[in-house]
Amino acid sequence: MAKKVCVLVAGSWGTALAMVLADNGHDVRLWARSEEHVREINEQRENSRFLPGVPIPTGIRATADMQEALHEAEAVVIAAPSKAMREVARALKPYWNEKMLCVHATKGMETGTLKRMSTVIAEELGCEESHIGVICGPSHAEEVARRLPTTIVVASANEEAAQRAQNLLMNAYFRVYTNRDVLGAELAGALKNIIALGAGMSDGLQNGDNAKAALLTRGLAEITRIGTEMGANPLTFSGLAGVGDLVVTATSKHSRNWRAGYMLGQGKPLQEVLDSMGMVVEGIRTTEAAHFISQKYKVQMPIAEQLYRVLFDGLDPKTAVEALMGRGPKTEMEMISQETWEQWHT
């Protein structure tokens, strides 16, 4: 049955998700900040800045008016950059009610507070975090918008809400699983951006496939280690939200994090990299957040720590690689606490 759905905001990922919803027959309102952006989408049926050359279905109508975007909406999908999430959620608040399904699709954390996006949204809407779901998994907007086969996860503590989101989004090219581990899904989606930066940097340094494969493997171990310490289900990191999203973000030409890391590996200064990207590189902000999270929970994250030093202390990328390779001998398998494992198997 067709639903009225609002998507915030009209970046690449928000536009791609709006297209999935329109393909499923829903009445979609896509909120954009500027009237110029709205006119282009409504009149030229294109979002040239974020998805050039991709026709936008007529089932999508853009608006810069938040009240219009949310009018009679039964669900809202938020795909704002992490740095803008609190502002967007605050603007949503006057038009939101608890009957409205709310899921976000942002893979990052709030710098300064170290809060996950579901926490930020819940604070601004004045609701329990269980009301907020998350869309995660390997899903480049450029491929979704071209209707290439994609499989994702909707995580929610509320099983009924997860199934509602699954029914809204799932179709022949967009397969959707559900998961109740919101914490693990959000941590996996945010922290994999750090490892993708590192993979791009390794490629920029011409370190080869062996180095990148090891970086991804050990990076996943870091993500799992800090995630389980924070209370996430360890199995989440072996699924689409974890290893699936990590692989695509660390290896694809569409990945902003990989491209930014590649330029850093070539010796370009951080500000030059950011200026050339033109879009948000979530991994840079998340690296800063992970630096403080690892200290808070007293969990070693050597790859994230070296990337933090490259990004914020001016460490040469070659020196960072030497530091990682020169660490003392270790055993490969870190223990996951028995208490955490049992929690998710009872």
Write out the catalytic residue numbers: 192
| Nearest Cα to Cα of residue 334 among 186, 195, 228, 213 | 228
Please report, for residues 159, 292, 328, the alpha-carbon distance to residue 115 in angstroms, rounded to integers and kept in the order given.
Answer: 23, 12, 33
With residues binned 3-state (H G I as helix, E B as strand, rest as coil), the percentages for the chain, rounded to 5, are: 55, 15, 30
Please report, for residues 8, 230, 257, the alpha-carbon distance to residue 196 in angstroms, rounded to integers and kept in the order given.
Answer: 25, 22, 6
Strands 101-104 and 109-110: unpaired
What SS3 class is residue 243? helix
Do residues 178 and 236 lie in contact, with contact meaning Cβ atoms separated by under 8 Å?
no
- Rounded CA-CA distance 119/112 in Å is 14
- The token duo for 184 is 């693990």
